[in-house]
Structure 1
Amino acid sequence: MDLLRDNELIYGRLLRIEEPHLIERYNKALKAFGLRPVKLEAFHIDRTGFSPQVAEELGNYNYLDPNEVNRRFIILTPAQIDLPVVHTAFSNTSQLVYEFFSKNSRAIDALTIKDVIYGEIEDSVQKVEDVEDLLSINQVEFKVLSAEDVLGKAAELGKLVDRLKQEPEAWRDNAMLERMVELAKVCGDIRENALVPDQVIFRHNTFWTSHFGGLYVFIDPDMITVIGDPTAPGFRRSRPWQVSYLSIRDADRVFRFLASSGRLELPRASWLETSGYLEHRAEMIIRGLIHATDPQRDLVSADKVWLQAWIHNNATLINRDGNFPFLNMAKREVAQLGHLRLEDVFPLHRFLVVRAKPDHPDAWLTNRLISDFVPSDFISRYIFNKQGFYKDYESANAVWREDVVEILKTSYLKDKEAFREHLYGLVDKH
């Protein structure tokens, strides 16, 4: 993983923490979780406070996620809202933490001036043992604490202020007034500084989880759809009137679900011809075939002329694989008809020519699921399915790893937002 780290393809865009008082606060949060403090002079954190350097020193990459449920968080600064989440068992952790920051910005701004905020994203399950445990999570609550108990002191001060306002003789209580002065030295003027978070409960919507080898849960008004390995504990066991279970090996049923639920942008000239989507898929397929047949071939310097020559010289292999000829056929049909008829298309081929509907709330998760059916497109895997990408990367040889890193650097990393908008129609994601 060193090559990925050196090129900021793993643990990129994290926030460097090097100020001694912030490191001290972080260690206070670690001790509150029952973990030993670290001796690092600097480290990087993500939106949730996870640090790869801290994980390495502790020898535990799940130090903020011990049971891969009820995720812990450590907030040192409001600036964490703009960071990615790089280690999580649930795909919606990033969005939940973003919403917590957004809804409680005043409190977070005020609290982090004096203290570290830490706690758990708590739900109804302590440990995930089967699919039903995942389906029982409807909402989460941020259990918020602070190392110096600024939150508790602010709540106490608030109660004393209320008493002073409501009880005519309360101002004669010198002990109470002295306590209020003492608390105000810590909390400041709580009429101006909102130290208590306004919203801590959030909906737990559609998500992917790493449990049971990777499992998707899509939530619609009248049905929950679970997509995963059918050998997962509890798969197809409960609530058949409310939960639809689809095997991730059944490409036809998965595609039909995504299409019928309005999550797919079907192959039409209106977006295919301007995005270069089919051309992108074709190049990914050819690069994958070259690597499969010649694992030591260095493709870093391979230009379009060289690739075209390879295609001509390996027509038999390409036709046997079938994916590249299908894309050429699809491109011709779209040019002629304005769309592609999918009725008779092989199920796995359908995933080559669709993308998530950009304005659908589940667009990112849908693109992630599509990438599971198109593993040759490592750029899509990297953007939407980093766990899958890293797994693929670890199993590849050194030559392929260098090729992948160089292509990502010269394409996606040059301008991420522009790349996502052009190819997938996506403008932004928190």
Structure 2
Amino acid sequence: MKRLIEKGLMFGNLVLVDSPAWVARYNRALEKLTGKTTDLTEFHIDLAGHSPEVGDALGDLDYLSPKGANRQFILLTTEQKTAPLLNPSISALRDILRRFIVENESQLLSLTARDAVLGEIEDHVWELATPADLAAVTQIKIIADTTGRHIAEADRMAALIERFRTEPGGWYDDVLIAQMITQAKSTGDVTRNPVHLGRVEFPIPDFHAEAFGGVYMIRSVPEPAMIFSDKTQLTNVPGLLSIAIEDRNLVAGWLARNGLAEPIATAHGTDAAAILRQKIDFVLVDAANRMGLDQGDGSRSDLRRAAARMGERLPPEIAGLAALLRWVETGGDWPVIDSSNPAYFHAIRATAGPARDVINMLLAEMAPQDVRNLYILNKPLFYRLYATWPEPKKEYVANLLSREYQMDKQGTRAALFGGEPDMRPPDPSPSTSGGNAVTGPWGSASSMRLNEAGLEGPAPAGPWGRAG
């Protein structure tokens, strides 16, 4: 992992805490949350105030994420909004905490000027005993205050002022007036300098959870589903379709019925040829390292020579991706590629919409040879797989990401996945009974039916033929 850290691909863009004032504030907040402090005089923190150095010094890398409890956070500055969130248990947490900071930035600027803001990210679920408990996670609430309880004290002062203004005889209530005077000594004039956080609750219809081997929860579609990375954890939950990620045909059919994916080759505003060539390179690098073949410096010419040495062992994904590349560059007949083809999930991306990022995260797991997508969309899985790769592949991947992604993150994401998703929910048209069938990326999928056992009836037409 040292190579990734040196290139800014791991623990990158963290906030440096090196002033005595910040360290003191962090320790006050840390002691209040965990009962511990750190002797470090310099360390880095992520979006939620978690520090790898502090975790290492305390001998507890999960010191702000105690098991069986809500994730805690420490804010020293609103600049943490641009930092990554390390080891999120739910993929939506980074976006929610960033939005909380942005939407309350003026208040948080005032609060962090004199103290640290600390709190919890509450999901209203006491315990995740089974995968079915994830269905109860529907919104996240941010509970925050300073170590000096400035928000709570300001709320108490505001309540006293409201009583003074509205209660009959409040103007003559000596006890109430005395309480206000005492409270004002610690809060100041909250009518001129109000201290109140705005939006603190955020719905999360779609997310990925690390628990139970990895579960994708998608509910902003006509046919809500849970998709399990670990088939042994597969659990039937009322109102949700349960699918194992290894059941590729079922996943593909569900994506098509709900209009959640589109072929890269025909995606609007995409340089499909460049993306497909890069995907072919990634597949060849993976195969060369598995076979112990020399990949040279990973250049396209070196990879083609390695492919020639593979002979009959050439990865099956190559044929499908090469056929798509020929169609993009020269036209001709549309390649017949269905979900049983290894190239299928390399050749699609999520459509714009509320679930786009979670669907792209799912597709990255289903086509892990594309290391760039895997790094951008599914960092926890990327880091786990990276630790198992041989040195030549680690070197190739680290150099590629630092050269082609770090230089222009926003531009790369837009080129690969399109613009920012439309956060409006889709029209709730029924997809399996009555009304009009949902139109997927390749037309109507009304020929697909569902029952309790899974798919029945004729399979829907995929982007390149029947879906097995």
TM-score norm. by structure 2 comes to: 0.82
* Deviation string, structure 1 residues 402-423 (Cα, Å, up to 9, x no partner): 2221111111112111112222
Q: Tell me: CA distance 1:264–1:223, structure 2 relative to 1, closer, same or farther (3 Å).
A: closer
Q: 2:182 — aligned with what?
A: 179
Q: Tell me: CA distance 1:54–1:303, structure 2 relative to 1, closer, same or farther (3 Å).
A: same
CA distance in structure 1 between the partners assigned to 2:384 and 2:278 by the alignment: 22
Identify which of 302, 320, 327 aligns with 1:326: 320
Contact 2:84 2:94 in 1 (8 A): yes
Q: Tell me: CA distance 1:248–1:11, structure 2 relative to 1, closer, same or farther (3 Å).
A: same
What is the deviation of 1:275? 5.8
* Deviation string, structure 1 residues 134-170 (Cα, Å, up to 9, x no partner): 1111222222232111112212322343355453335
Q: Does 2:139 align with 1:139? A: yes
Q: How does 1:77-88 map to 2 (within 5 A)?
A: 77-88=77-88
Q: How does 1:252-271 map to 2 (within 5 A)?
A: 252-269=249-266, 271=268
Q: 2:152 — aligned with what?
A: 152
CA distance in structure 1 between the partners assigned to 2:23 and 2:205 by the alignment: 34
Identify which of 262, 277, 300 aligns with 1:304: 300
Q: 1:245 — aligned with what?
A: 242
Q: 2:48 — aligned with what?
A: 48
Contact 1:115 1:146 in 2 (8 A): yes
Identify which of 280, 283, 305 aligns with 1:285: 283
Q: Does 2:340 align with 1:346? A: yes
Q: 1:377 — aligned with what?
A: 370
Q: Does 2:310 align with 1:314? A: yes
CA distance in structure 2 between the partners assigned to 1:252 and 1:11 by the alignment: 37
Q: 1:356 — aligned with what?
A: 350
Q: How does 1:84-123 map to 2 (within 5 A)?
A: 84-123=84-123
TM-score norm. by structure 1 comes to: 0.89
Contact 1:281 1:377 in 2 (8 A): yes
* Deviation string, structure 1 residues 267-312 (Cα, Å, up to 9, x no partner): 44455655622111101011112111226x464x343332233333
CA distance in structure 1 between the partners assigned to 2:282 and 2:69 by the alignment: 35
Q: Does 2:403 align with 1:410? A: yes
What is the deviation of 1:102? 2.7
SS for the counterpart of 1:220 is coil
Q: Tell me: CA distance 1:346–1:223, structure 2 relative to 1, closer, same or farther (3 Å).
A: closer
Letter of the 2:323 partner, please give it: M
Contact 2:17 2:44 in 1 (8 A): yes
CA distance in structure 2 between the partners assigned to 1:182 and 1:36 by the alignment: 30
CA distance in structure 1 between the partners assigned to 2:182 and 2:103 by the alignment: 31
Contact 1:115 1:150 in 2 (8 A): no
CA distance in structure 1 between the partners assigned to 2:88 and 2:241 by the alignment: 25
Identify which of 364, 368, 371 aligns with 2:361: 368
Gaps of at least 5 residues in structure 2 are 423-468
Q: 1:236 — aligned with what?
A: 235
**Overall identity of the aligned pairs, in %:** 25
Q: Tell me: CA distance 1:69–1:390, structure 2 relative to 1, closer, same or farther (3 Å).
A: farther
Identify which of 384, 390, 397 aligns with 1:397: 390
CA distance in structure 2 between the partners assigned to 1:79 and 1:87 by the alignment: 19
Q: 2:14 — aligned with what?
A: 14
Contact 1:417 1:428 in 2 (8 A): no
Q: 2:35 — aligned with what?
A: 35
* Deviation string, structure 1 residues 70-122 (Cα, Å, up to 9, x no partner): 21111111111222212211100011112222332232122112221111111
What is the deviation of 1:181? 4.4
Q: Tell me: CA distance 1:26–1:56, structure 2 relative to 1, closer, same or farther (3 Å).
A: same
Contact 1:119 1:143 in 2 (8 A): yes
Contact 2:285 2:295 in 1 (8 A): no
Q: Does 2:432 align with 1:419? A: no
Letter of the 2:320 partner, please give it: F
CA distance in structure 2 between the partners assigned to 1:345 and 1:221 by the alignment: 21
Letter of the 2:243 partner, please give it: L
What is the deviation of 1:343? 6.1
CA distance in structure 2 between the partners assigned to 1:222 and 1:99 by the alignment: 27
SS for the counterpart of 2:346 is coil
Q: 2:446 — aligned with what?
A: none
CA distance in structure 1 between the partners assigned to 2:363 and 2:199 by the alignment: 34
CA distance in structure 2 between the partners assigned to 1:316 and 1:230 by the alignment: 31
Q: Tell me: CA distance 1:10–1:270, structure 2 relative to 1, closer, same or farther (3 Å).
A: closer
CA distance in structure 1 between the partners assigned to 2:143 and 2:267 by the alignment: 47
Letter of the 1:106 partner, please give it: S
What is the deviation of 1:226? 0.4
Contact 1:420 1:427 in 2 (8 A): no
What is the deviation of 1:316? 2.8
CA distance in structure 2 between the partners assigned to 1:282 and 1:298 by the alignment: 14
CA distance in structure 2 between the partners assigned to 1:345 and 1:51 by the alignment: 42
Moved more, 304-313 or 55-64: 304-313
